Amino acid sequence: MKASGLPRPCLLPLLLLIACDDPGPVAPPPPPEVVVQAVVAEDVPFYMEFVGETAGVLDIQIRARVDGVIEEVAFKEGSQVKKGQLLYKIDPAPFEAKLREANGQLAEATARFVRAKSDLNRVEPLVKIDALSKRTLDDAQAEHDAAKGLVDAAEALVESAKIDLSYTELRSPIDGLIGISQAYEGDYVGRYPNPVVLATVSDLDPIKVRYSISERDYLQFVHEVSERAKAEGKTLSEMEEDKARIPLELYFSDGSKHPEIGYPDFADREIDATTGTLMIEATFPNKQEAVRPGQFARIRALIRMMEGAAIVPQSAVQEIQGTYQVMVVDAENKVSARRIVPGIRLEERWVIDEGLKVGERIIVEGLHRARSGMIVAPIAPDAKSPEQNGETGR
């Protein structure tokens, strides 16, 4: 039986040809380059930030205490006023008339009292010699006492009329900055719905800031103070003064910083159940009076210094379903994923509370090229090629 296919002498050249075209085993690709940086240790200030609003240390509302028509507005709106300076004058004529009427009633009551006293002085000796009855003396004494009461009442009416008349001139109770007037000459004031608060005078140096902290921040603050007290061997009551002297920084809506340091004055007695916050009031020097009431205020409080904190670039941290991890490169350049607990952020860096040690190497750029268990080619941040410098989406 014959073999099918090519004869055996023809197979040998074909096999030799196939063997010559075989390139052999393929070389593995080089490890991917990634930018690696060591975890550094720094002393980091721990701040807490809160949002509030500025107010004058004294914001006094100028109110009309009697009804009437404004006769004069004696100040320039938005200007500085002095204590005792005339601000408004209400038409005094009705109150001068009431004062004259009260003086007339006082004169009438005084005359009656003088007559009653004279009658009593005349009756007393006659009663002693039984020339008049005891009842006559009682009647004279009663008339004397009633007349004295009328005099007292009339004097009170005169004093009240004088006070009302004095209220027709509204004067500044403090040195300060006065705002816009809510009423002008000819306006009837002093009773709702007409203007009752005519203007507000504010003492701007120092300036007051009221801000609220959450219950969680309050508890964290208490914890920090407790830890500090324990470290210093003090009781919490001994730390009360230190709590009040925590330095505060004030920032405005444009990000600018107030040049002066402030301090908290007091905290409210309770947590507001509707908002879950505690109101705190602080004061800041404001010699130039550049800060006005009603401004947005961001308060930053230095709570403590974290010594030797582990710091990593924020680009090295990955968030996966609410957990955080970094890619660690060991001495053999092998990559492993490490779960971490991040702490506070410092602009483009992150303090790591748990999961990393100072000196460990982590990938800061090229995370998309690295997988756990891979071998990589680490390079320092300052050794990146121009192409790597232009890469995005790390």
> pLDDT tens, 364-375?
988 888 888 989
Is residue 60 one of the residues assigned to a domain? no
Is residue 6 one of the residues assigned to a domain? no
User: What CATH number does residue 379 fall under?
Assistant: 2.40.420.20
Q: Are 43 and 305 in contact (CB under 8 A)?
A: yes
| Structure confidence at residue 194 (pLDDT) | 78
Q: Are residues 211 and 280 in the same domain?
A: yes
- Model-level pTM greater than 0.75? no
Q: Are residues 288 and 362 in the same domain?
A: no
Based on the number of CB atoms within 10 Å of its own CB, is 185 exposed (0-12), middle (13-18) or buried (19 or more)? exposed
Is residue 17 one of the residues assigned to a domain? no
Q: Are residues 266 and 363 in the same domain?
A: no
Q: Are residues 161 and 80 in the same domain?
A: no
10-69 pLDDT, tens per residue?
A: 555 555 555 555 565 667 788 888 999 999 888 888 788 899 999 988 889 999 999 999
Q: Are residues 358 and 277 in the same domain?
A: no
Q: Are residues 324 and 219 in the same domain?
A: no
Q: Which of 72-81, 102-111, 240-249 has the weakest average pLDDT?
A: 240-249
Q: Are residues 251 and 298 in the same domain?
A: yes
Q: Which of 91-95, 277-281, 303-307 has the weakest average pLDDT?
A: 303-307
Q: Helix, strand or coil for residue 327? A: strand
Q: Which of 66-70, 289-293, 342-346 has the weakest average pLDDT?
A: 342-346
Q: Please state the rounded mean pLDDT for residues 176-200.
A: 89
Q: Are residues 208 and 281 in the same domain?
A: yes
Distances (CA, A) of 336 to 125, 221, 238, 351, 363: 119, 36, 48, 20, 10
Q: What percent of the chain has pLDDT over 70?
A: 87
CA-closest candidate to residue 37, choices 388, 382, 380: 380
Which residues span the domain enclosing 228? Answer: 204-303
Q: Are residues 160 and 174 in the same domain?
A: no
Q: Please state the rounded mean pLDDT for residues 87-98.
A: 95
Q: Please state the rounded mean pLDDT for residues 155-159.
A: 95
Number of domains in the chain: 4
Give the separation between CA 166 and CA 67, rounded to whole angstroms: 13
Distances (CA, A) of 310 to 324, 337, 359, 364: 15, 17, 9, 15
Q: Are residues 70 and 189 in the same domain?
A: yes
User: What CATH number does residue 151 fall under?
Assistant: 1.10.287.470
Pairing between strand 80-81 and 40-63?
unpaired
Q: Are residues 81 and 42 in the same domain?
A: no
Is residue 261 one of the residues assigned to a domain? yes
Is residue 249 one of the residues assigned to a domain? yes
Q: Please state the rounded mean pLDDT for residues 291-305.
A: 88
Is residue 318 one of the residues assigned to a domain? yes
Is residue 4 one of the residues assigned to a domain? no
Choosing from 303, 330, 345, the residue where a domain stops is 303
239-286 pLDDT, tens per residue?
A: 665 555 688 999 999 999 999 999 988 888 899 888 899 999 999 999
Q: Are residues 234 and 299 in the same domain?
A: yes
Tell me which of 231 and 297 has the higher pLDDT.
297
| Structure confidence at residue 177 (pLDDT) | 92
